[in-house]
Chains A and B, each alone.
Chain A
């Protein structure tokens, strides 16, 4: 196993090899050993290792066969006669899909697949369980209709199917689904745990990186292990081994947003707003999700302004982000946030400092 990104290359494949929260791995082992269990809902912040744990749990249940994957392209017809295609990753024991890929048609796809799986027999007669597993990624983006439709399906087909949902938070999952699942919280790794994992990887890659460099990455990654490993790989590629006091690498888009925040602080005028808007567009066209842009920008600004303004910045951001989720045009809400910030900040300067 060489090549590929380090995040993939060093993904632990069995529950024993998982580094952080050993109690959780222990619990999942117990679960895998039992005859029956409810549907599962894994939740926790991104980069905490939910997916890794799901895969490791399935391996514990069914053995290495779950890693023999094939990818299918499937075409389904909606009741209105529209054709939608989705790609599905599957093994003999499970099937995996990301319903948000198909947008508003998620209900049809999810229903059809689960019913189909429920009606096909397990091909491997030696399989530990009669049931197959359907993994739904990004379950927090499942539409309400799709979630409604899952309710009774989860009850009706339980002898042949178990559903594993993977989500960042439980608040977007409707209560009737939550009450049908075993909820498994996956906390983000601690900073020291991240540092340990990074040290291990650096060693395996024979990259002589300074411990304090690793420590700084661990502190700056927001407890997101995926991000930390990417940062390490980037840093090493940029020659972190040689220089001692090198700054930890940030992603280009992060650097870009930080610079945008400085621009906003430097001047609050319609002209500036126009320039900032250009920069926001640029980020959007690079496929940086709008809510990430908004959040990163908001925290940057909150850190740059005077103490009494900080809560206002967060309030404006919380408002804009909420609107953003409901609306269609991201740029409106991003720009709206910046304009509102500029106005507030400017009047603060005038009032307090008399500038």
Chain B
């Protein structure tokens, strides 16, 4: 133990890369961005012409929106000029109307210094383009007042500044803003891309993982590579694999037990199939006390009720043993339950209510 501590201390001192893997393996160039071909192509072309429209990236989490715009900025400006040319604001910063008026304006109105544009050459042998970029990440959490304020700023300074809005829901961006941008949808990543990327990282980090577990990882990621990477790192750490910093070019001793599908389910907070089996069994009995006991047990075990809802949906709404009318009734119950849970209602009461309704509807799987 003492020896292990010493080793790790010297490593900490040596500046080992201890960032979570989602940061460590964030694409550094546009070429490293997986599967979002359309937007990557447009951005590359714009690099050649030194012209860029305002951008609006939208789509599911973990599909590369933030990574893509950061990679573009890095490629456009290189490490030196980056700081003076890119302003990144996200939901964690204060973004009321005042901030839009001041911070963004102040940044946007200073002219791009000519010196930089001519003298700095990038690895790409291209001078940095003559405009600045303002990134508004998680823009859908901006109030519509702040968005309106932004619209004027955008018009006023568009000669020297490009805006990139990043969000999950395009419908929460006010129309006058959205219509000024080139819109790109980031689709959930296809399984093949997820698998390729996760396999690569597992290899570089020396994580022993079975092919089945990799497939499970892809399945529970649901097209979200951030989830996939976090789950992979979680599995590795829980099984004691690697932990020696790893990383490209670094030889880290492989170690730890092999990651198996059940480890993946555990870190993904997905209840194992037997939990749902038990619940459905109790519903079938039509006995309230049995249903109550089963639900109490599920809640005491800490299983995620939201995860269970997803499984009920997957299993019952496609089941050949459930009639269309039953499915329709069930769908109504599920949506009520989901809404209540999202609003913060008690899981125990909600699940018990749902289960006793399911029992009454007569769904059995």
Contact = CB atoms under 8 A, between A and B. Distances in A.
Interface in A109-129: 111, 126-129
Most A-side CB within 10 Å, residue of B8, B137, B301: B301
B248 interface: no
Interface residues on B, range: 35 or more
Interface in A139-186: 140, 145, 148-153, 155-156, 158-159, 169-172, 175-176, 178-183, 185-186
A314 B347 contact: no
Given A38-B20, A149-B91, A187-B302, A314 B224 contact: no
Interface residues on A, range: 35 or more
B19 interface: yes
B225 to A, nearest CB: 10
A31 interface: yes
B357 interface: yes
Contact of B243 (A36, A111, A183, A298): A36
Interface in A287-346: 291, 295, 298, 302, 307, 310-311, 314-315, 317-318, 321-322, 325-326
Contacts of B224: 179
A155 B300 contact: no
Interface stretch (A40-48, A200-208, A270-278): A40-48
Contact of B346 (A175, A223, A321): A321
Nearest to B297: A223
A325 B242 CA distance: 44
A188 interface: yes
A145 B141 contact: yes
A35 B18 contact: yes
A170 B20 contact: no
A37 interface: yes
Interface string A223-235: 1000000000000
B61 A33 contact: no
A182 B230 contact: yes
B23 interface: yes
Interface string A254-295: 000000000000000000000000000000000000010001
Nearest to A41: B269
A351 interface: no
12 contacts: A30-B240, A34-B237, A34-B240, A35-B12, A36-B21, A129-B18, A170-B304, A172-B342, A182-B237, A188-B302, A302-B288, A318-B340
Interface of B: 4-5, 8-9, 11-12, 16-23, 61-62, 66, 90-92, 94, 96, 98, 137-138, 141, 168, 224, 226-227, 230, 233-234, 237-240, 242-245, 256, 266-269, 288, 292, 296, 299-307, 340-350, 352-353, 356-357, 359-360
